[in-house]
Amino acid sequence: DGLRALAVICVIINHFNKELLPSGYLGVDIFFVISGYVITSSLSGRKSKSFWELAGGFYERRLKRIIPALISYTLIISLLLCLFCDEPVLLLRTGITSLFGISNIYLLRQSTNYFADSTSLNPFTHTWSLSVEEQFYLVFPLLVWITGLGKQSKNSYRNLCLTLSLASISSLIAFIYIYHVNQSAAYFLMPTRVWEISIGCL
């Protein structure tokens, strides 16, 4: 929780004044690592009889943690945008896509530059990182089950570590390559962020 608070403060300071803390946006990267750690911790001590039991419990905990705050935020901000913004359509669409965990893809399709001044005017831009995490959540329970950790099988931790290490290396290589071709894609897409979340999982 202390690291989360530090990460959030760094991001807020960076948004408030980039010159004051130029690398404050790296707080998002810290958050990805923390998320990987938290979701692995929540699954590592639980033995499940079936994949559906494992996945059901995992998604129930994630939904309870994320959805109430996300829906409340989206509704309140959307109402304020309709009242005070002359052209709220693009902003509202970002908010709607955030509810389905795809705002990162929507922002990429809009050719959004996260570091552009215009981006700071969209109160839903920051939901891209939550969408990345939610997309990772779709595949992680399956990964845990296949490697045997969900059943607490023999060598399950080793299997998961090897799988995550391979995923981390592949994702980092993809990030480095795509960054030189399309910076926004490298920044917004889940596959190029897996290496950070996987580090937390490991």
Whether pLDDT at 115 is above 60: no
What number is the average pLDDT over the span 114-123?
A: 66
pLDDT for 47 equals: 84
**Where does 147-181 have alpha helices with state H?**
156-181
Higher pLDDT, 12 or 192: 192
pLDDT for 159 equals: 94
The residue whose two tokens read 């490991």 is 202
**Where does 17-126 have alpha helices with state H?**
27-44, 51-84, 89-99, 103-109
Q: Is residue 91 within 8 Å of 105, Cβ to Cβ?
A: no
pLDDT-derived band at 80, boundaries 50, 70, 90: very high
What number is the average pLDDT over the span 88-112?
A: 90
Strand, helix or coil for residue 74: helix
Q: Is residue 140 within 8 Å of 39, Cβ to Cβ?
A: yes
H or E, element range at 15: helix 2-16
What number is the average pLDDT over the span 25-46?
A: 90
Burial label for 134, CB within 10 Å (0-12, 13-18, 19+), is buried
- 190: tokens are 């889940």
What are the residues whose beta carbons fall under 8 Å from the beta carbon of 82, sequence distance 6 or more? 88, 92
What number is the average pLDDT over the span 17-28?
A: 86
Long-range CB pairs of 24-28 (<8 Å, 24+ gap) are: 25/115, 28/129
Whether pLDDT at 45 is above 80: no
End-to-end CA distance of the chain: 18
Burial label for 145, CB within 10 Å (0-12, 13-18, 19+), is buried
Q: How far apart are CA 128 and CA 143, in angstroms?
A: 23
What's the pLDDT tens digit per position in 140-169?
Answer: 999 999 999 888 888 899 999 999 999 999
What number is the average pLDDT over the span 177-200?
A: 94
Strand, helix or coil for residue 17: coil
Q: What distances in angstroms separate CA 141 from CA 43, 53, 146, 147, 180, one per listed residue? A: 8, 10, 9, 10, 32
pLDDT-derived band at 118, boundaries 50, 70, 90: low
Average pLDDT in the chain: 90
Sequence letter at residue 159:
N
pLDDT-derived band at 175, boundaries 50, 70, 90: very high
Name the pTM for this structure.
0.89
